């Protein structure tokens, strides 16, 4: 952490609101995008981002400088989004369509036309298709994959953010990707 | 860049040309090997698609709306009592699955337990000569303390047996998983306190064992129902590989020896 950033955090911890606003400015976009990746809805992402910074403001005194501020703030974001997704899963009224009676994913429910990679890369709908497919993964798989490939976190950073081991992160990613392949069809690089 | 002799098989795995057994073995290796995982990420078409998917475009007023709403929310925070966050809030956040991060737990352990049990036994111990002896065996420690170490490892052993006996999807239907999780969460909190004690006693052997236990407790505490089919075999394998039960039984035996009344 460079000394400027450290100084801003110290000032914010001491109650300097201007310093805290600087922290918001530095991280707001990333927090918003991360929340969107995990929730797939900009309005909800905006509400979560707001809650993240209010929580950070309230809990700044518990933040330990030896960890990075960004990791801390992304962890708050990820935890809030995971809670929202859990509630959504619990409240979902039509789970039968996507899951079998044992709660397992019904893998017969593929997209109607398995897309080819060239088409996917050119397709402006790609992101949306991926988002749709990602909703069929477990919350942890989706979170790990979003952090890794949309937010470009390292597996170490993801482990810190999600509060698990790096091996667990890799399992979530690997299993998630395997499931995505089944959902989207086997794409081939030519 | 490190190399690994499994690396060259990854293309075969992705092409689907490995036998089922070999594929499974390689998959299990892949998630524990940074070299092979990196190689797999490079070669996986799906990973490339995800990495290259263009970032989504937020609606035009989103950032401005966010900023003005946040300013209002922060202003109303300033009017609130400075006593926030209070103990209940923190305690609630620990027992809410998904928030069981190391630091929250550490903070909570301090808050919930306040002062560590048995301060009097935390007197400095002279340099240990020879192989490290677990604190529980140290003569300077009260019977009460040894019993608390014993309780912890008794529960640890039971938890491990419980985890080894979990099966999917029965554990979800019988809510066994939630029960197991709550024990692991509770033990993680207590482990923090024991680690502080071990550290003060300079008991590195105990500290190391507790750290290894933590890795396990961590995974169990975060085991969610939907990840069970993938994570449960991994955790069970981890328990077998760690050979931690043997170590726990050793400690238990030693604690029993230490508090055994003198025979005439
Ligand atoms: Zn390897």
Which residue in A102, A117, A164 is closest to B218 by CB distance?
Answer: A164
The dihedrals phi and psi of B19, each to the nearest 5 degrees, come to -65, 150
Place of tokens 């500290």: B207
CB-CB contact of A127 with A121 (8 Å):
no
Same domain, A84 and A108: no
CB-CB contact of A187 with A114 (8 Å):
yes
pLDDT band of residue A119 (cuts 50, 70, 90) is low
In this prediction the ipTM stands at 0.78
**Mutation site for B-interface testing, chosen from A177, A179, A183, A186 by largest number of B Cβ within 10 Å:** A177
Same domain, A112 and A166: yes
In chain A, DSSP finds a helix count (H) and a strand count (E) of: 10, 0
Same domain, A145 and A170: yes
Among candidate residues B259, B24, B252, the one with its CA nearest the CA of residue B139? B259
Task: Give me the pLDDT at residue A25, please.
Answer: 92
Instruction: Provide the residue range defining the domain that includes B15.
Output: 7-48
Classify residue B130: in a domain, yes or no.
no
Which of A47, A69, A93 corresponds to the end of one domain?
A93
Alpha-carbon distance A70 to nearest alpha carbon in chain B (angstroms): 15
Instruction: Provide the residue range defining the domain that includes A137.
Output: 96-190
Q: Which residues of B touch A79 (CB under 8 A)?
A: 98-99, 101
**How many domains is chain A partitioned into structurally?**
2
Q: Provide the percentage of residues in chain A whose pLDDT is more than 70.
A: 77
Place of tokens 């801390």: A72
Higher-confidence residue of A123 and A131: namely A131
Q: Which residues of A touch B44 (CB under 8 A)?
A: 177
Which residues are bridge partners to B246 per DSSP?
Answer: none
* 8 Å CB contact of A168 and B219: yes
In tens, the pLDDT along B221-244 reads 877 777 888 888 888 888 888 788
Same domain, A84 and A119: no
Segment among A24-38, A47-61, B122-136 with least mean pLDDT: B122-136
- A45-57 average pLDDT score: 95
Return the CATH number at A161.
1.10.10.10
> Does the pLDDT at position B51 exceed 80?
yes
* 8 Å CB contact of A189 and B31: no
pLDDT band of residue A108 (cuts 50, 70, 90) is very low
Which residue in A33, A57, A175 is closest to B77 by CB distance?
Answer: A57
* 8 Å CB contact of B66 and A168: no
* 8 Å CB contact of A103 and B225: yes
Classify residue B73: in a domain, yes or no.
no
Count the neighbouring beta carbons within 10 Å of the beta carbon of residue B89: 11
Q: Which residues of B touch A42 (CB under 8 A)?
A: 58-59, 62
Among candidate residues B153, B155, B115, the one with its CA nearest the CA of residue B136? B153
Q: What is the DSSP letter of A105?
A: B
**How many domains is chain B partitioned into structurally?**
2
Q: What is the DSSP string of chain B?
A: ----TTGGGHHHHHHT-S-HHHHHHHHHHHTT-HHHHHHHHHH-HHHHHHHHSPPPPPPTTHHHHHHHHHHHHHHHHHHS-TT-S-HHHHHHHHHSTT---HHHHHHHHHHHH-SPTTGGGG-------SS---GGG-TTS-HHHHHHHHHHHHHHHHHHHHHHH--TTHHHHTTHHHHHHHHHHHHHHHHHHHHHHHHHTT-HHHHHHHHHHHHHHHHHHT--GGGHHHHHHHHHHHHHHHTHHHHHHHHHHHHHHHHSPPP-
Same domain, A50 and A109: no
Count the neighbouring beta carbons within 10 Å of the beta carbon of residue B261: 6
In tens, the pLDDT along B184-207 reads 888 888 888 888 877 777 777 888
Q: Which residues of B touch A83 (CB under 8 A)?
A: 96, 98
User: Ligand 1 centroid to B22 CA: how many Å?
Assistant: 14
Among candidate residues A163, A97, A181, A42, the one with its CA nearest the CA of residue B50? A181
Count the neighbouring beta carbons within 10 Å of the beta carbon of residue B83: 6
* 8 Å CB contact of B77 and A171: no
Q: Which residues of A touch B37 (CB under 8 A)?
A: 155, 170, 174
Which residues are bridge partners to A105 per DSSP?
Answer: A99
CB-CB contact of A74 with A31 (8 Å):
yes
> Does the pLDDT at position B215 exceed 70?
yes
Classify residue B88: in a domain, yes or no.
no
* 8 Å CB contact of A126 and B107: no
Count the neighbouring beta carbons within 10 Å of the beta carbon of residue B33: 19
Task: Give me the pLDDT at residue B96, please.
Answer: 38
Q: Which residues of B touch A54 (CB under 8 A)?
A: 70, 73-74, 77
Distance CA B183, CA B72 (A): 41
Same domain, A71 and A119: no
Q: How far is residue A116 from each of residues A134, A175, B116, measured CA to CA in Å?
A: 18, 21, 61
User: Ligand 1 centroid to B39 CA: how many Å?
Assistant: 9
Classify residue B79: in a domain, yes or no.
no
Which of B32, B48, B64 corresponds to the end of one domain?
B48
Higher-confidence residue of A11 and A125: namely A11
**Mutation site for A-interface testing, chosen from B16, B27, B31, B235 by largest number of A Cβ within 10 Å:** B31
Give me the total of CB pairs closer than 8 Å, taking one residue from chain A and one from chain B: 147
Q: Which residues of B touch A104 (CB under 8 A)?
A: 169, 229
Same domain, B255 and B141: yes
Return the CATH number at A74.
1.10.1740.10
And the tokens for B189?
Answer: 């909190």
Classify residue B28: in a domain, yes or no.
yes
User: Ligand 1 centroid to B13 CA: how many Å?
Assistant: 13
Same domain, A108 and A174: yes
Classify residue B202: in a domain, yes or no.
yes
Higher-confidence residue of A146 and A66: namely A146
In A, minimum Cα distance to B79 occurs at A58
* 8 Å CB contact of B49 and A33: no
And the tokens for B166?
Answer: 């979990």
Mean pLDDT of chain A: 80
Report helix angle A166-184 to B20-30, nearest 10. Answer: 130
- A169-190 average pLDDT score: 81
Higher-confidence residue of B181 and B44: namely B44
Same domain, A101 and A89: no
Highest mean pLDDT among B118-122, B126-130, B149-153: B149-153
> Does the pLDDT at position B14 exceed 80?
yes
Same domain, A88 and A100: no
CB-CB contact of B159 with B180 (8 Å):
yes
- A17-38 average pLDDT score: 92
Task: Give me the pLDDT at residue B116, please.
Answer: 33
Same domain, A117 and A183: yes
**Mutation site for B-interface testing, chosen from A163, A178, A183 by largest number of B Cβ within 10 Å:** A163
Which of A71, A93, A115 corresponds to the end of one domain?
A93
Task: Give me the pLDDT at residue A168, please.
Answer: 93
Same domain, B250 and B153: yes
Which residue in A50, A124, A155 is closest to B73 by CB distance?
Answer: A50
Same domain, A18 and A54: yes
Task: Give me the pLDDT at residue B68, please.
Answer: 92
Segment among B104-108, B142-146, B219-223 with least mean pLDDT: B104-108
* 8 Å CB contact of B58 and A32: yes
Among candidate residues B208, B147, B209, B158, the one with its CA nearest the CA of residue B183? B158
Q: What is the DSSP string of A177-189?
A: HHHHHHHH-----
* 8 Å CB contact of B227 and A120: no
Same domain, A120 and A73: no
pLDDT band of residue B145 (cuts 50, 70, 90) is confident
Higher-confidence residue of B258 and B212: namely B212
Q: Which residues of A touch B77 (CB under 8 A)?
A: 54, 57-58
The verdict on pTM exceeding 0.80 is: no
pLDDT band of residue A167 (cuts 50, 70, 90) is very high
């Amino acid at each position: 952490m460079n000394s400027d950033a450290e100084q801003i955090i110290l000032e914010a911890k001491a109650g300097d609101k201007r310093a805290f606003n600087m922290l918001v400015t530095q991280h707001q976009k990333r927090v918003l995008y991360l929340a969107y990746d995990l929730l797939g809805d900009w309005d909800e992402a905006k509400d979560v981002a707001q809650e993240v910074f209010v929580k950070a403001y309230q809990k700044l005194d518990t933040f330990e400088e030896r960890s990075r501020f960004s990791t801390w703030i992304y962890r708050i974001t990820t935890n809030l989004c995971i809670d929202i997704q859990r509630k959504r899963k619990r409240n979902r009224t039509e789970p039968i369509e996507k899951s079998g009676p044992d709660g397992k994913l019904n893998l017969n429910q593929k997209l109607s036309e398995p897309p080819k990679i060239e088409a996917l890369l050119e397709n402006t709908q790609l992101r949306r298709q991926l988002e749709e497919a990602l909703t069929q993964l477990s919350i942890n798989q989706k979170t790990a994959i979003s952090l890794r490939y949309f937010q470009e976190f390292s597996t170490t950073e993801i482990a810190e953010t999600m509060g698990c081991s790096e091996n667990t992160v890799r399992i979530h990613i690997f299993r998630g990707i395997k499931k995505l392949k089944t959902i989207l069809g086997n794409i081939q690089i030519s | 860049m490190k190399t690994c002799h499994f690396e060259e098989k990854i293309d075969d795995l992705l092409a689907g040309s490995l036998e089922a057994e070999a594929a499974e073995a390689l998959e299990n290796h892949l998630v524990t090997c940074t070299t092979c995982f990196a190689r797999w990420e490079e070669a996986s078409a799906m990973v490339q698609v995800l990495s290259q998917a263009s970032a989504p475009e937020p609606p035009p007023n989103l950032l401005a709306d966010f900023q003005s709403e946040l300013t209002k929310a922060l202003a109303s925070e300033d009017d609130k009592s400075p006593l926030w966050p209070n103990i209940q809030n923190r305690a609630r956040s620990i027992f809410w699955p998904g928030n069981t991060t190391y630091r929250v737990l550490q903070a909570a352990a301090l808050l919930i337990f306040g002062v560590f049990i048995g301060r009097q036994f935390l007197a400095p111990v002279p340099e240990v000569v020879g192989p490290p002896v677990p604190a529980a065996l140290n003569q300077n420690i009260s019977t009460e303390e040894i019993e608390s170490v014993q309780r912890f490892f008794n529960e640890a052993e039971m938890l491990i047996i419980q985890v080894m006996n979990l099966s999917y999807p029965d554990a979800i239907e019988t809510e066994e998983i939630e029960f197991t999780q709550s024990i692991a969460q509770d033990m993680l909190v207590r482990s923090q306190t024991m680690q502080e004690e071990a550290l003060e006693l300079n008991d590195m052997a105990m500290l190391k064992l507790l750290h290894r236990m933590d890795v396990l407790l961590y995974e169990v505490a975060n085991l969610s129902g939907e990840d069970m089919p993938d994570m449960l075999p991994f955790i069970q394998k981890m328990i077998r590989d760690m050979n931690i039960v043997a170590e726990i039984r050793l400690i238990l035996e030693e604690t029993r020896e230490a508090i055994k009344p003198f025979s005439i």
